[in-house]
Amino acid sequence: MGREVIDNLRTCLFENIPVALVTVIENSGSSRGMTGAMMVIWGASESCGTVGGGNLEFWAVGEANKCLAAGLSREVSFVPDTEAERGTSCGGTTRLFIRVFHTGPRLIIVGGGHVGLELYHLALLQGFSVVVIDDREDFIDHSRFPEAETLLADDFDKVLTDYLITKDCYITIATRTHETDEQALEAVIGSEAGYIGMIGSSRKIKEIYRHLLDRGVLREKLDAVYAPMGLNIAKVKPKEIALSIMGEILLVKNGGSTEHMRTVKNISY
């Protein structure tokens, strides 16, 4: 069983799936949990291994899911909370350590043109893993994006439909045409991405939205898209546009605001 736990942990790490390793570090009395017992939890309800079964394991899975949601590792203690539980042969206290392996934020750049290239540089500075997608092979080159985690050259809708998108993914759409922007947006509109943004004029965006509404996309899904993406701080230079987009992504990611810090801090003198 220990080998299976480690194999599943390794698979999750390789596939960039957030996963929690739960290990029993101490037990007392006649607790079910044996010291060193392990299990891994990932996805909505996937798990492997055991820390003792019963109420202990049910509780541990719940705590692991809380840790995964927060992206934090911590030690926890299970103490039976009813007289009936304390009176059973399995009523001891168990200490566990929940180690979260979090994949961290990932910027998915859809379109490797001028703005995409500038976003790539800014994302690396902010600690994002970067995925670049383009249907032009000459724009998906390791010499152009040497530190990208993944480079994918294929049709946008095909790549994005197959790609595992989680809440830690931040997606920017700036492809070569209105049509490919629309294809990309439709492919990700129903995903769990933490941010979906698309570049373009008001006219272009309204047209794309009308097309998607006609094809059954819910209005509330479109309302969640940042389009045109970016804060109102740039003109026409790709470097400025990319900075405005990255600023908006950080605002969403960190729950920030567009206020000046001098206003937020309200310093008086």
Beta carbons within 10 angstroms of residue 34's beta carbon: 12
Check: CB of residue 133 under 8 Å from CB of residue 152: yes
pLDDT at 87: 45
Rounded to 5°, angle at Cα 160 from 68 and 165: 5
| Encoded tokens for 125 | 């500075």
pTM, two decimals, is 0.67
pLDDT in tens, 209-227: 999 999 999 999 999 999 9
- Summarize pLDDT for 251-260 with one digit per residue, the tens: 999 999 988 8
pLDDT band at 83 (very low <50, low <70, confident <90, very high): very low
Q: Spell out the domains of the chain, with CATH numbers in brackets.
A: 2-101 (no CATH), 106-254 (3.40.50.720)
CB 70 within 8 A of CB 91: no
Main-chain phi, psi angles of 26, to 5 degrees: -165, 140
Average pLDDT over residues 43-54: 83
Task: Calculate the average pLDDT of the chain.
Answer: 88
User: Which of the 8 DSSP states describes residue 226?
Assistant: B
Note the pLDDT of residue 115.
96
